[in-house]
Structure 1
Amino acid sequence: MDGSRPGAGAEGESASGAISGSARYIECDTLKRTEKFLSVSASGTLWVEGSEASLSQSLTLMDAILTFFEDQKVLYKSGPEKDLRMVHSIEMGWFILDKYYALLESTPAYAAAMLLDPSKRKHYLLQNWPEEWHQKTIDAANSIWQKEYVHLTHESIPAAAVADIDTSNPSSKKRIENELDRLKLRLRVQPTPQEDEDTFMAFIKDKTIDLDALKITPLQWWLAPEQRRRYPRLHRMAINILSIPPSSAEPEQQFSGARRTQSWDRLRLSPQNLQRLECMGNWFARKLISSEELLAMIVEAVEMDDEMDIDFDEEDWDMI
């Protein structure tokens, strides 16, 4: 005779089902929390892979992720949402993020890109970074300016860009200086030396500009003719740095595009002109040049190769 208590099997199955259901709920809840946590990284990846992305976004994204880590750690460390597994995961991510922050000192281009962003400048540091980071970050970025750009000659301003103002006054007559003129000269306020705007330090201390309202990127702002006239040397540094893509997605896309441009059956286009064509295509896609300018440059590049009439082999390409 079976000595088990009547209904014990049913109760056991019920308890097992309850435990299984609870486990499934915990797993589902963990997945939801993980998905929410990873969504920030996913959005950030798309943000820096955009066609108008620039290097100035990299530090902003890192700061945003760090802020998110801080908020989520407070949420899961105690209270009704307490989850030590999430806290451990956050700490591991924090460890990796700290490693990348430590690498910034050896790669000052990131700090320079942020400081050359007219919507950030030095004010972004003062608002969002610890005080002990401010000066060394500025010094690292300024070192690029001092080494590569401060000694450049000023570009000549096109004549059409200079206002044609006639300062002559034919009605004025030269007269003999009198005593009053000499007294006024003694009382005249001496001109205050104006700080050169075309310097890195002067730019980052200036007021910020709302680029979102203008619907332009930092690179587009620097490419405007008025910025070239105002910052004849600094605009070169800004364009060189802000044109660096923040991720490898676009360079890899350009490599693939070059393979489609250069057909397999004949490598007639020179490596140099292939590089030019890919750059021009990228500029046109970003609306940095007009279709007329693009066509003129393409025709010029192709005509140069037609005149050479040379087929390039693998050794020629390996030299590039």
Structure 2
Amino acid sequence: MLREALNLRDAIDGYFNKWMELDCAGDELSSEDWIILEKIKSFLKKLKMTTKALESSFATLDNVLLAMDFVLAQFEAGKEAYIDDPIMAPMYNSGWAKLDKYYRLTDESPAYVAAIVLHPSHKWHYIQESWKKEWVESSKKLMETLWNDYKPVESPLPLCEVPSTTTNEFLNWRNKHLQPSLVTDEYERYCNSERVYGFTSALAWWLEETQQKNYPNLSKMAVDILSIPAMSAEPERLFSGAKITITDRRNRLGSDVVEALECLKSWFGIRELQGDVL
């Protein structure tokens, strides 16, 4: 609406000039009002672009906190730029307070942090570079708690017995190297490895056979987390599509059949699953 009003500014001003003496007198927009509307439109455009990016079919949970960080930075920049503006300052302050409220609610679930960490191009780099130290520490505790739900219970491997009577230095050296190496934690091994780039999506990367073998338990956790959409827009679209499936002549379809049909329709539209998977 703001965009259309600004595009039709000349027509709107002309209307008020022509009918100034009627009931609309006093409702006309001044030059200062038009400037304010332009500022508001410029800011809302950034919010719109962020929203559009997150409501797409392939936006997953790893984008949520990044998007909130981006929007929060826009609010903070606006608060500083219009600190003395009697009209714009309250808008930015109210918007920042509302976003901060919902940002704090993400602390109640480790899934948001896990989605970023399990993105092979981010891992802990983004959080450590962008967040305060105390936030990083609390996030790592949340991540460890979540990983413990997937982490396998490991039993210690029996050590090779080395004869205590041997005096052969070669046999002592050989037996020492026959000792099994300590089993490394999948999550720690993943975090300590180099970040990865050049893939279609984080979820597709975790579904690759290499990751399934190298991180059998962590990959399950990653698939569970990265399968969550960033917004409910796509699930709502799929839900609405069920009315096409359930017609008057299909009124005896059970809920399980309808669910299976909608899942198949959705999966056939996913590029990453084309080919041998389907």
What's the TM-score, normalizing by structure 1?
Answer: 0.67
Q: Does 1:54 align with 2:41?
A: no
> Equivalent residues in 2 for 1:141-290 (5 A)?
141-147=143-149, 149-151=150-152, 182-187=168-173, 190=177, 193=181, 196=184, 198-199=186-187, 201-210=188-197, 214-290=198-274
Distance 1:83 1:230 in 2: 56
Aligned amino acid, residue 78 of structure 2: Q
* Contact 1:197 1:231 survives alignment (8 Å): no
Q: Check 1:196–1:282 CA distance in 2 against 1; reply closer, same or farther (3 A cut).
A: farther
Instruction: Kindly provide the CA deviation profile for residues 290-318 of structure 1, in whole angstroms up to 9, marking residues without a partner as x.
Output: 36764xxxxxxxxxxxxxxxxxxxxxxxx
SS in 2 for 1:265: helix
Larger Rg: 1
1:288: how far off? 3.2
Aligned length: 238
* Contact 1:122 1:204 survives alignment (8 Å): yes
> Equivalent residues in 2 for 1:95-106 (5 A)?
95-106=97-108
Distance 1:36 1:205 in 2: 41
Distance 2:173 2:86 in 1: 75
1:275: how far off? 1.5
Instruction: Say what the alpha-carbon RMSD is for the aligned residues.
Output: 2.6
* Contact 1:122 1:205 survives alignment (8 Å): no
Distance 1:90 1:195 in 2: 52
Distance 1:132 1:292 in 2: 46
Match of residue 130 from structure 2 = 128
Q: Which deviates more from structure 2 when the two are superposed, residues 247-256 or residues 64-73?
A: 64-73
Distance 1:71 1:195 in 2: 48
1:195: how far off? 5.5
SS in 2 for 1:233: helix
Distance 2:131 2:189 in 1: 20
1:121: how far off? 1.1
* Contact 1:54 1:246 survives alignment (8 Å): yes
1:99: how far off? 0.8
Q: Which runs of 5+ in 1 are unaligned?
A: 1-19, 154-180, 295-320
> Equivalent residues in 2 for 1:68-147 (5 A)?
68-77=74-83, 83-147=85-149
What's the TM-score, normalizing by structure 2?
Answer: 0.77
1:152: how far off? 7.8
Distance 1:114 1:292 in 2: 29
* Contact 2:76 2:96 survives alignment (8 Å): no
Instruction: Kindly provide the CA deviation profile for residues 117-164 of structure 1, in whole angstroms up to 9, marking residues without a partner as x.
Output: 1111111111000111011112112212212x11389xxxxxxxxxxx
Instruction: Kindly provide the CA deviation profile for residues 22-54 of structure 1, in whole angstroms up to 9, marking residues without a partner as x.
Output: x62211110111011111110111011111100
Distance 1:47 1:255 in 2: 20
Distance 1:279 1:125 in 2: 34
The percentage of counterpart residues that share the same residue type is 32
Q: Check 1:74–1:262 CA distance in 2 against 1; reply closer, same or farther (3 A cut).
A: same
* Contact 1:117 1:218 survives alignment (8 Å): yes
* Contact 1:197 1:230 survives alignment (8 Å): no
Aligned amino acid, residue 91 of structure 2: S
SS in 1 for 2:103: helix
